[in-house]
Amino acid sequence: MNKIEHIGIAVKDIEQSNALFSQLLNVQPYKMEIVESEGVITSFFMVGETKIELLQATHAESPIAKFIEKKGEGIHHIAFGVNDTNTEIERLLGQGFDMIHSAAKPGADQQSIAFIHPKSTNSVLVEICSAIKQP
Ligand code: ZN
């Protein structure tokens, strides 16, 4: 794994949290994006080489809605940048990690992503991601 690509933070009200994190980080979000497959609306801030991703649920069955219900707002996942998500999935499966996604899928911000099950990683939800190569 190459670097911490981003840190995902679960929030209840993304507009309110955009304002808060803009003040905190002294930078505006560079994009907002809905990820239908995850039931989330996201916003991204660039902090040096690392992004902060805010996530708000778009419906009650969203994993983010369930997370907030159980644990409240806060850090949801850490995402590590890798060269190729599918290659890294194979390596992690070989090491015995339990993958939530056994194949890469499209995520927000033009990334090919997969999540490792937190029961494999001391309850830390870990995402791996690589940039989707533009044709
Ligand atoms: Zn993420």
- Ligand 1 mean position to 22 CA, how many Å? 19
What residue ranges in 13-101 does DSSP mark as E strands? 31-35, 40-47, 50-57, 74-81
- Ligand 1 mean position to 77 CA, how many Å? 7
- Ligand 1 mean position to 54 CA, how many Å? 9
- pTM for this model (two decimals): 0.93
C-alpha span between 28 and 41 (Å, rounded) = 16
- Ligand 1 mean position to 51 CA, how many Å? 9
Each residue's pLDDT tens digit, 53-85? 999 999 999 999 999 999 999 999 999 999 999
- Ligand 1 mean position to 53 CA, how many Å? 6
pLDDT at 135: 67
- Ligand 1 mean position to 8 CA, how many Å? 5
pLDDT at 134: 72
- Ligand 1 mean position to 71 CA, how many Å? 18
- Ligand 1 mean position to 94 CA, how many Å? 23
Do β-strands 50-57 and 126-131 pair in parallel, antiparallel, or remain unpaired?
A: unpaired
C-alpha span between 43 and 29 (Å, rounded) = 6
Task: Please give the average per-residue pLDDT across 11-36, as a whole number.
Answer: 97
Task: Please give the average per-residue pLDDT across 100-121, as a whole number.
Answer: 94
pLDDT at 94: 97
- Ligand 1 mean position to 135 CA, how many Å? 23
